[in-house]
Amino acid sequence: MTIRTGPSTIAIALTGALALTACGGEPQVPAEESQDATADDATETTQTTEAAPEDPEAPVEVCELLDSAEVAALLEDDLREPSPDSPSSYSLGACSWGAESNGRDLYVSARALDQWDSALESNDFGVEPIDGLGERAWRTSDDGLFVDPGDRHYFYQMFVIGLDGDINFDMSVQAAELLLD
């Protein structure tokens, strides 16, 4: 009888070993496969350590991402103290900057990348792409801008809103540009 060994056999053996270990049993992996798997695991561990991805659920301190002087210039007014929001099921963190007297507010939320599609689909009033802003960006009629910087574990949802309750899309794009610099 010929036993074939290869990447799929090793993967199946390791999966079985993990399942048995989790249940308290002793894994039975042939010695030849065990040595090969150990060498592969060591290589993978080294590679993972060198290029460890960010935790996709890691909180983001959004208020620290923008300089207050830049936000004040954007909103064309002095600022009240930034107001951070804690992470939730909706966001990894958020911040609001309010203008002292002209009524404008900038709101920025960091959202997990796996929420991108559902965020766009939930916009009942339409979306349109914005070229040249991050990895990908969309303007939404009811939720402001969605901007994926491309090098982070999150995307931004942001808008500048005035006393009239309308989103100022020009200022929102300027805010996105500040975040991407």
Kindly write down the DSSP assignment for every residue of 60-95, as one continuous string. --GGGSS-HHHHHHHHTS-BPPPEEE---SS-SEEE
Cβ count near 79 (within 10 Å) = 17
Q: Is residue 57 part of a domain?
A: no
What local confidence, expressed as pLDDT, does residue 23 receive?
A: 41
Apex 94 CA angle, 142 and 48, nearest 5: 115
Same structural domain for residues 67 and 140? yes
User: Are both 26 and 101 inside the same structural domain?
Assistant: no
Long-range contacts of 164-169 (CB under 8 A, 24+ apart): 168/104, 169/139, 169/144, 169/145
Q: Does residue 55 sit within a domain?
A: no
Is the domain of 158 the same as that of 79?
yes
> Domain containing 145: what range?
62-180
Task: Dig out the tokens for 68 from the structure.
Answer: 């207050």
23 plus 102 within the same structural domain: no
Q: Are residues 41 and 77 in the same domain?
A: no
Query: Quick one: pLDDT at residue 9?
Result: 34
C-alpha 97, offset from chain centre: 21
What pLDDT, on the 0 to 100 scale, is given for residue 176?
97
pTM comes to: 0.69
Are 70 and 157 in the same domain?
Answer: yes
**Cβ–Cβ < 8 Å for 111, 76:** no
Give the pLDDT score at 56: 80
pLDDT of residue 53: 55
- Give me the average pLDDT of each 10-residue run along the chain (181 residues): 38 34 42 46 40 74 96 97 94 97 97 92 84 94 92 95 94 96 89
Encoding tokens for residue 91?
A: 């966001």
Do 104 and 21 belong together in one domain?
no
Which CATH number is 90's domain given? Answer: 3.40.1000
